[in-house]
Amino acid sequence: MTKLSIIDSLFLWVETPEIPAHVAGLQIYQLPRGKGSAWLQQLMAGLREYPPGSPFNLRLKKSVGARPELVEDDAFDIDYHLRHTVLPHPGTEAQLRNVVARLQGHLIDRDRPLWEFHLIEGLESRRFAFYIKIHHAICDGATFSKWMAESTGSTPDANTPPIWARPRRRGRQTERPWLDALQAPVGLARTSRDLGEGIPRIVGRILKRRFIDGNRAIALPLSGPQTPFNAELTASRNLDFAAYPVDELKAMGRSRGATLNDVVLAICDAALRRYLGEQGQYPEKPLVAAVPVNLRPAGEVAEGNYVTSLQVKLGEAGQGPKERLRAIHESVQSARDLYAGVPAAATQAYSFSAAGLAALGQSLHLAGTMPPPLNLIVSNVPGPRETRYFKGARLEALYPVSGVAPMTALNVTVYSYAGTLFVGLISGRRALPHLHDLKLCLDEVYDEYRQALVPE
């Protein structure tokens, strides 16, 4: 038996039919030479032979406790978790996006282990796809990325197991309940102390640096403008993708002392302002983005959810590429400085308070009335640098398919793989019915920033 942490449990508590709480990825593969539908049928049959390991063999225990528990599913049914879809001819990427958008909007069955695996065949140019989704209570984006990388090999003949075929292990609570019982009060006391010291320190820094030091780069709570994507959500989703060379994006930032993440935020910000302008809705204030940050030290392999979120003030209206990138670089640094030396529990509690406010606003139907705690989510997840394979098929692209949050109907997640930055755009379908127009704005802004920021 394994008890979920408070942060893990949060994703179960806030989930609604309109806001499913899972992370997902879309892997697009090239069929091996000479292989076709029969090979995929054999592949699917072979995948069914792999037994699940932890946590893919665990389901939620039905209980009334405050913290949910995971137990082994004695009635595990691999045929439920593995699905096979065939796209109709011609198998365009637009058809693929529509299928994945519908799958992404469905809740995962809580009476079974919290994951699904979909093989999608029939994609044009002799390609097929894996769509994998796992409940956010089980893992965050960094852990999911690690599991996906481990389920592929570095050579075509690598015989790596699928993502769910992980080592089976028993939860610590089953093995050492007496030790956990002793540690629980100690852990609770430590967390209470960290929260009591850390949150006032963050709030104090915000007030001092913004109102005494005059640092206008800091994002104040509830300071973002009203936008069409800060709307009440329904379960339907829109999905689109983009891809850009990592080296060119890094070169844009290198000449300005900015990071890859700064460049991504600047391009997203400029594209969003262009998109909103084309809709006749110009933001009067800078947008505020939630930027998830992995809290694991280098080399740390702890799984589950160990993430916080920076609240980053984006650029002003009318800024050019250089000015916008500089402003966002300063905003990101200011947001990081707020958390410097603060216990992780406090940074997590502060960052999740914005999500809590948004969830309250969604439940009370205050979208459009209450100032949005955040305008959008922009996340950057690193992946393998070298080309990967699965059972001889070459992995051509890996698009992140993230979730949206209450009153925050737009998520832009980027994933770096084999020299390319793959961009996954997901939105509430009613809030952003023309998501492809935003993707086109991203392409335009990327070209403009490359010309303006990359030295000749």
Complete DSSP assignment for 94-119? HHHHHHHHHHHTSPPPTTS-SEEEEE
Cis peptide before 55 (omega within 30 of 0): yes
Query: Alpha-carbon distance 391 to 162, whole Å?
Result: 10
Beta strands 82-86 and 69-72 are: unpaired
Cβ neighbours, 10 Å, residue 297: 7
* Active-site residue, selected from the candidate residues 84, 136, 329, 434: 136
Residues 6+ apart with CB under 8 A from 114: 22, 55, 59, 60, 108, 134, 135, 137, 138
Contact of 130 with 118, CB cutoff 8 Å: yes
Amino acid letter, 312 = V
DSSP state of 432: -
Please say if 89 is a catalytic residue.
no
Query: Alpha-carbon distance 419 to 180, whole Å?
Result: 44
* Helix (H) or strand (E) run with residue 198 in it: helix 177-207
Can you say how many angstroms the Cα of residue 236 is from the centroid of all Cα atoms in its chain? 18
DSSP β-bridge partners for residue 310 = 291
Contact of 275 with 268, CB cutoff 8 Å: no
Which residue has 């959008």 as its token pair?
A: 376
Query: Alpha-carbon distance 440 to 456, whole Å?
Result: 25
* Helix (H) or strand (E) run with residue 155 in it: none
Angle at 187 between CA 181 and CA 188, to 5 degrees: 95
Residues 6+ apart with CB under 8 A from 204: none
Residues 6+ apart with CB under 8 A from 160: 150, 151, 152, 153, 390
* Helix (H) or strand (E) run with residue 145 in it: helix 141-150
* Helix (H) or strand (E) run with residue 261 in it: helix 260-278
List active site positions: 136
